[in-house]
Amino acid sequence: MDFIKQFSDYTEKIEEYLDDVVPLADNYQSEIYEAMRYSLLSGGKRIRPVLCMAVCDMLGGSLSEPTVIGSAIECIHTYSLIHDDLPCMDNDDFRRGKPTNHKVYGETTALLAGDGLLNKAFEIIGNADVPDDKKILCLMNISTASGVDGMIGGQVIDLKNEKNADVSVEELKTMHSLKTGALIDTAAYCGAVLGGATETEITAIKEFSSALGLAFQVKDDILDYTGNEELLGKPVGSDAENEKVTFVTLFGIEKSEEILNELTEKAKSALDIFGDKAEFLLEFADFLLERSY
């Protein structure tokens, strides 16, 4: 199947599910539903749920389970963006070409909208029509990936190192593997579990997603310096403005591009054991490498 067509098929299922699982409400708390939907349904690449679906699909699994679990991960990702944009964090005014959540609904509602999406994610997983053994594995992995030993921990390191030029390459990689890579890793892992992967296959998929997650962040660092604001949907140069250490500040654009290519090739090589079945994921890695937003 054509890559773009398959990607669109995945995202269409995700959009339909998210629209249904976080509906508009006619009750006293209707504003919070509206705020949650504002960020959740505002576009985005849907990288994490697509990855969950594609891994499961490669292994011959049904798409119904990874659509649900992947969408739960997307709720967590969206909550993290709402909170990242708050004045107490990165203080951003635009996200995906639209005013950030707190600019529309105020800081208090934005904070609660993020909390709502985080809790909604675990409600989705709890209600998912997935065998209990697989559900528990996904639940535990997602909990860790989104917590202090995952995404939250990475954000702590990121904030701690603002205006601190003395950051080692190892600390930078650790920060990104937690802040960005953890949810990408868990999306791929859950897809593998739902698809009935063997231990050998899970190891290969973990190698793929680990390299892919770091490559994704390196590309983000590059785009923050070289990207088009209209395509990105947010201002470029925010990392420099916040005096953050990135791959670009440590290595420069040219070397960062080399690192990006090396990581992408490493990710793709990890899928060798799957042969032609990995075609979409190989093209997916190239898509992330070449993206302009």
Is the four-CA dihedral 266, 10, 52, 70 of positive or negative sign? Answer: positive
Q: Is 188 exposed, middle or buried (0-12, 13-18, 19+ CB in 10 A)?
A: buried
Q: Are the beta carbons of 53 and 67 closer than 8 angstroms?
A: yes
CA pair distance 280, 219, nearest whole angstrom: 20
- Among 11, 283, 72, which Cα is nearest to 194's? 72
Longest dimension (CA), the chain: 54
User: What is the DSSP-derived secondary structure letter of residue 25?
Assistant: -
Q: Give the gyration radius of the chain's Cα atoms.
A: 18
Q: Say if strands 94-95 and 98-99 run parallel, antiparallel, or are unpaired.
A: antiparallel
| Structural domains present in the chain | 3-290 (1.10.600.10)
Q: In the structure encoding, which two tokens stand for residue 42, read together?
A: 């505002």
Cβ-Cβ contacts under 8 Å for 172 (sequence gap 6 or more): 245, 246, 247, 250
Mean pLDDT by 10 residues, the chain (293 residues): 93 97 92 97 93 98 98 98 94 91 98 98 97 97 97 93 82 94 97 98 98 95 80 63 82 95 97 98 95 84
Q: How many CA atoms lie within 13 A of 192 on its CB side?
A: 25
pLDDT of residue 236: 62
Element (H, E) at 265: helix 247-269
pLDDT of residue 255: 96
pLDDT of residue 142: 98
φ, ψ of residue 250 in degrees (nearest 5): -85, -40
CA pair distance 235, 230, nearest whole angstrom: 8
CA pair distance 33, 23, nearest whole angstrom: 7
Is the four-CA dihedral 9, 213, 182, 109 of positive or negative sign? Answer: negative
DSSP 97-113: TEE-HHHHH-HHHHHHH
CA pair distance 49, 81, nearest whole angstrom: 16
pTM to 2 decimal places: 0.94
φ, ψ of residue 40 in degrees (nearest 5): -65, -35
Length of the chain (residues): 293
